[in-house]
Structure 1
Amino acid sequence: MTIVRTRFAPSPTGYLHIGGARTALYCWLYARKTRGTFILRIEDTDLERSTPESVQAILDGMDWLNLNYDEGPFYQTRRFDRYREVIAQMLESGTAYRCYCSKERLELLREEQMARKEKPRYDGLCRNRGIAGEGSYVVRFKNPLEGVVEFDDQVRGRLAFSNAELDDLIIARSDGTPTYNFTVVVDDWDMNITHVIRGDDHINNTPRQINILRALGATPPLYAHVPMILGGDGKRLSKRHGAVSVLQYREEGFLPEALLNYLARLGWSHGDQEIFSMSELIEYFDIKDINRAPAAFNQDKLVWLNQHYMKTGDPEHVAKEFAWHMEKLGIDTRNGPELTEVIKAQAERTKTLREMAERSRYFYEPVQVSDEMKSHFTPELIPALMMLRERLAQLDVWTRESVHEVLASTAEIHGLKLGKLAQPVRIAVTGGTVSPPIDITMVLIGQKRVLERLEILRSQANMPDGVEGEGNAL
C-alpha cells in the first residue's frame, strides 16, 4: 500500500496569498485524511526575487492557519550540490546535453518562428553535435521527439501532450544554477512525493516534468491541478478582490478556522454543507470532489463565516486571537473583564475581531463623552440618572440581574420606559450609543468604573456634592 506524501512548495517571492493557502490546505487535508505525510518545501532558486521576509511571511501564514507540516521546511538553495550531481548523471547518460547557442541566435530563431506563425521552441541545434562548443553554455534536457505524454489528472481527467510540442527545456543556466522544472522533479523524486496538488497554471509544466522523471528512472507522482480563483466579476483574482496575504486577513480580524472553512469550499464541496469543523474537513475531503470550474471569491460569505465562528467557537480559543487584536490597538486588558466574557457579549454585534476590539475599548479604558453626546442628558432625565447612580452605589452584589433590577425599578419610579433611561446611561459609561445590552455592559465595565463615569451627570446638572434634586441625593 502506497503511503501518501504531499507537498506544498511556494516560491518566496511574495506573501502567502489566498490561492497558495488553498493549495496548502488541500495538500494538508489529503495527507491527514490518508494518514500520510505533509511536506513544506521553499522553492527559493529565484535568487533575485526570493527574500528572507517572504520566507518568514510564508512560515508565519502556515503557522497562523495551523497547517502543521510533518517534514521541512526544505530549501532548494541548500540542495544545489544534489542538483549538480543529477545534472552530471544526465549528461553522462545522454539524457541531457550542453547547449552553446548564443542569446542572439536564440532571439533570431524565435523571431523567425513567430514570423512563420509557429510556436517558438528550441530547434535542437546542439542536441546531437556530440562535441564541446566554446564559451558559456546551458544544459538542456533531451526531450523525446516522438510519442505522447499522458497522465490521469485527479481533477481534470485524462490529459495528453504530444512530445513534438515540447522543446528541450533548459535545466541549468549558464551560471550553473538549476531551473524550476528541474529542481521540482529532483525534489519530488528525492522526497518520494506521491501526490502533487497544485494550481492549474502548472499544467503545461507537468508533461515536461514527467519526461524528466522517466529519464531518471523514477515513477511520476499523481497530479491534481486545481482551477484558479476568480473575483466576483469573473476576472482573475487580484488585490481589489481579496488576493492579499493570509496574514492581512488576520490583521482584518478573521479567525483562521473561518478562512480555512471558506477556502476549503472555494472549489470543493460535500453535498450542500457549508460549515465544517477541521475534523469534518479531514474526514470528507477527497481530491476527486474538487470542482473543475474556477471558483469565485465572495468576501461577504467569508465575513458571514467569520461571524459564525466568533459566535459559536470556543471562547477560550477565540480569546487568543482577540487578545492579539487588543494588543495591536494598544489596549491593556489586564485590568478589566475577562476577554471571553467580552467575546460572548460582542460576537452578535461585530463581524470581525478587529471590529470587536475597536468597539471594546470602553471596557478597559477611560471614556470621553462629547458635547454632542451630552445633549442626551436632558433636564427631565437628570433626576432619574442621579438616583440610578446612588442606588447602584449601594449594590453589594454586582450581577446582570441586580443591575437590571435597579435600572428597571428606577425607570418605573420616574415613569420612564427602560430604553429611555438606558441610552443616556450607555452614553455615560461607554462614550457612545452602541453596546451590548446595558445591564451586561455595566457588569463587564465593573461597579467602580460605572460609578466614576456616571459622575459626569453631576456636572451636567450643575449640582455640587450634597445638594439634593427631586428626591435624589448624591
Structure 2
Amino acid sequence: MSDAPIPARTRVAPSPTGDPHVGTAYMALFDVAWARKTGGQFVLRIEDTDRARLVEGSEQQIFDSLKWLGLAYDEGPDVGGDHGPYRQSERLGTYRPYVDQLIADGHAYYCWCSTERLAELRAQQQASKQSVTGYDRLCVGNTRDERAALPGFTENPVVRMRVPDAIDLTFDDIIRGRVTAPRPDDQVILKADGFPTYHLAVVVDDHLMGITTVVRGEEWISSTPKHVQLYKWLGFAMPQFAHMPLLRNVDKSKISKRKNPAARLMWFREQGYLPEALRNFLQLLAYPPKLEDDGSEREVVAFDEFIADFDWSRINTVGPIFDVKKLDWLNGVYLRNLSVDELTERIIEHELRTGRWTEVDGARRELLRQAVPLVQERMTLLGDAVPALEFLTTPDDELGIEDDALASLKDDAGQVLAAAISALEAVGEWGHETIQATLREALVDGMGLKPKFAFAPVRVAISGKKVSPPLFESMQILGRDSSLARLRRLAVRL
C-alpha cells in the first residue's frame, strides 16, 4: 500500500485593498509547498466583496508579486481554470441559493436592525462589561412587519446565521492539534447590498473550488467554529485547517502596513531583495532550518529542497519575529552565489524598473559586468551596486570629490599624486596587478609611506570618495587615460 499523500488543493485569497501584504506571500509559500509536495494544485482567489475598500491596481500587484516570488498559481483570475470565476464579485449568483437554503432550514434569519441600534447595543454591552456580547437576536422569529413595530428598524435587512446553543467549539488543526475557540455570535452572512460576508463566501468558494487544506493566519481560529457549522449545515466535505502563526514586529506587535514599510510586499522588490532570498526568509519565520546529517543546522535552503522536506508538524506556532536584518544577511548570501552574468542582469533589471536608468546600451552593460565582481562580496541589496560603481561611468571632468574625502588627505597628498602619475605613465600593460606593483614600488618603497597613506590620495582621485571598491581593479576598468586624467585633475586642485 502506498503512503503517498492525497494531492492537496490549497488557495490564497487576498483582498485587493492596497499594496499586497507580506502575509499574503507568507501564506502562499506554505500553500505552494503543500500543493507541490502532494502533487496537487495551488489556487489564487480574489476576495473583492468589500467594494468600499477596493484600490485600483491592487489586483494586478497581487498577480505580479506572487509571480515575482516564484509562487505561481495553477488557477486564478488571470490564468483561468476549471473552478472559476476566481473573483468573488463575479460569483454573486453562487451564494444566494445557499443563503436561501440556510433560511429555509432554520439555520439563518433576516435581521432588520439599523446600524445605529447595533452601535447602541455594543456600547451598552461594553459599559456593563457583560461576559457575553454580540447580537441579541431581537429579530429572531419576527416577520418584517412585526420587527418594523420595534425600535431601530431598517428597510434593508441582512441575513445572520443562527448559531446553535450547543455549537461545537473544538476542531482539528493539522499544525496545532485539537483547538478550542471562543463561542461566536450570530454572524452576518449576507449584507444588505446582497454581497456575502467573508464567513459564508469562504466556505462556499472553498467547497466549490475543491480546496482540501485551508491555510490562514491564527487570527481566524475564533471564526473556525462558525465555518465548521456552515460546512455541516450545507452538507459539504470538511477541509483540513492549518492556522499559521502571525508575523510580528521586533517589538512583538502585529506587523501592519501602517507601521512597517516591510509589511508591503512590493517594498521588497523596490528595495532590491532577491525573490529567492525573501522566500527563504519567509520559510524560516515559521519553519526550522535544515538539519544536516552531522546535527548542524543550515538556514540557506532552496525552495525545492524546502518542499521536498515539508511537514506540517514542524511548523513553529510561536509568533515569528520579522527581523529585516536577517533578511539582509540572507539576501547577501544569495547575491554572492549568483554568477557575474546573472547578477549583472538582475542589477540592470532593478535599475530599469526603479527608473534610475532609462536605457542600457552595450557599453554600459559590459562595464557593469566587468565591475560587478568589485562589489559583489559587499552587496546587501541589488540597488547597492550602481551607487558604489557610479564613479566608473562618470566622465572624468565631472567626477565630484566628496568634502570628507578631500579633508582626509595628508599635506603631502600632492607629492604622492605626482609620484603616482610619474610611475604610472611608464606602465606598459595596464592590468590591476601591474598597477598595484607599480604604485607600491613608487609610493610605499620609494617614499616610505604606509600603504593606507600611500594609496589614499589615489583612491580619492579615482573615485571621489574615502571608501571605494577595490582600487587597482577599478583603475584597470577605467583604463590608462581616464585613470591618469583623474590623478592629474586632483593633483592640480591640491
TM superposition score category, shorter chain reference:
0.7 to 0.9
Structure 1: give runs of 5+ residues left out of the alignment: 462-474
State how 1:138-177 maps to structure 2 within 5 Å. Answer: 138-161=158-181, 165-177=183-195
SS across alignment from 1:137? strand
- Report the equivalent of 1:464: none
Q: How well do the aligned residues superpose, as a CA RMSD in angstroms?
A: 2.8
- Output the CA distance in 2 between the equivalents of 1:326 and 1:108: 55
Q: Which amino acid counterpart does residue 253 of structure 2 have in structure 1? A: K
Does structure 2 conserve the Cα–Cα contact (< 8 Å) formed by 1:363 and 1:445?
A: yes
- Report the equivalent of 2:48: 44
* Cα deviation code 1:419-440 (max 9, x no counterpart): 4443222222211122222121
Does structure 2 conserve the Cα–Cα contact (< 8 Å) formed by 1:384 and 1:414?
A: no
Give the structure-1-normalised TM-score: 0.86
SS across alignment from 2:192? coil
Alpha-carbon spacing, 1:33–1:451, altered in 2? closer, same or farther (3 Å): farther
SS across alignment from 2:156? coil
Match of 1:54 among 46, 58, 62: 58
Does structure 2 conserve the Cα–Cα contact (< 8 Å) formed by 1:148 and 1:161?
A: no
- Report the equivalent of 2:111: 99
* Cα deviation code 1:344-403 (max 9, x no counterpart): 2212223222233221211222322257645647232133222144135x43xx443343
Match of 1:301 among 322, 326, 333: 326
Alpha-carbon spacing, 1:299–1:107, altered in 2? closer, same or farther (3 Å): closer
- Output the CA distance in 1 between the equivalents of 2:203 and 2:190: 13
Q: Is 1:225 the counterpart of 2:243 in the alignment?
A: yes
SS across alignment from 1:189? helix
Q: Which amino acid counterpart does residue 227 of structure 2 have in structure 1? A: Q
Return the offset for 1:207.
Answer: 1.1
Bigger shift: residues 132-141 or 66-75: 132-141
Alpha-carbon spacing, 1:222–1:446, altered in 2? closer, same or farther (3 Å): farther
Q: Which amino acid counterpart does residue 436 of structure 1 have in structure 2? A: P
- Output the CA distance in 1 between the equivalents of 2:24 and 2:108: 32
SS across alignment from 2:238? coil
Alpha-carbon spacing, 1:91–1:360, altered in 2? closer, same or farther (3 Å): same
- Output the CA distance in 2 between the equivalents of 1:224 and 1:444: 55
Q: Which amino acid counterpart does residue 286 of structure 2 have in structure 1? A: G
* Cα deviation code 1:75-99 (max 9, x no counterpart): 2111112122332343344443323
Alpha-carbon spacing, 1:452–1:82, altered in 2? closer, same or farther (3 Å): farther
Alpha-carbon spacing, 1:161–1:374, altered in 2? closer, same or farther (3 Å): closer
Does structure 2 conserve the Cα–Cα contact (< 8 Å) formed by 1:325 and 1:357?
A: no
* Cα deviation code 1:116-140 (max 9, x no counterpart): 7142233444444577766322122
Bigger shift: residues 130-139 or 177-186: 130-139
- Output the CA distance in 1 between the equivalents of 2:404 and 2:181: 72
* Cα deviation code 1:451-470 (max 9, x no counterpart): 44334156347xxxxxxxxx
Match of 2:135 among 122, 125, 130: 122
- Report the equivalent of 2:82: none
Q: Is 1:18 the counterpart of 2:47 in the alignment?
A: no
Q: Which amino acid counterpart does residue 330 of structure 1 have in structure 2? A: R
Q: Is 1:257 the counterpart of 2:276 in the alignment?
A: yes
Q: Is 1:360 the counterpart of 2:393 in the alignment?
A: no
- Report the equivalent of 1:422: 455
Query: How many residues are aligned here?
Result: 456
Match of 2:421 among 357, 362, 386: 386
Return the offset for 1:448.
Answer: 4.3
- Output the CA distance in 2 between the equivalents of 1:321 and 1:444: 21
- Output the CA distance in 1 between the equivalents of 2:436 and 2:414: 23
- Output the CA distance in 1 between the equivalents of 2:138 and 2:355: 64
Structure 2: give runs of 5+ residues left out of the alignment: 78-85, 149-154, 292-296
Bigger shift: residues 416-425 or 211-220: 416-425
- Output the CA distance in 1 between the equivalents of 2:343 and 2:306: 20
Q: Which amino acid counterpart does residue 457 of structure 2 have in structure 1? A: P
Match of 1:66 among 64, 70, 74: 70
Match of 1:181 among 185, 199, 211: 199
- Output the CA distance in 1 between the equivalents of 2:435 and 2:103: 84
SS across alignment from 1:29? helix
- Output the CA distance in 2 between the equivalents of 1:212 and 1:199: 20
Q: Is 1:3 the counterpart of 2:38 in the alignment?
A: no
Return the offset for 1:7.
Answer: 0.8
State how 1:207-356 maps to structure 2 within 5 Å. Answer: 207-238=225-256, 243-270=262-289, 271=291, 272-327=297-352, 328=354, 330-331=356-357, 334=361, 335-336=363-364, 337-356=366-385
Return the offset for 1:181.
Answer: 0.8
- Output the CA distance in 1 between the equivalents of 2:283 and 2:74: 21
Percent identity, aligned pairs only, is 34
* Cα deviation code 1:148-184 (max 9, x no counterpart): 143211222102357xx33332111122111111111
* Cα deviation code 1:259-293 (max 9, x no counterpart): 22111111211443211112222122222211121
Does structure 1 conserve the Cα–Cα contact (< 8 Å) formed by 2:34 and 2:310?
A: yes
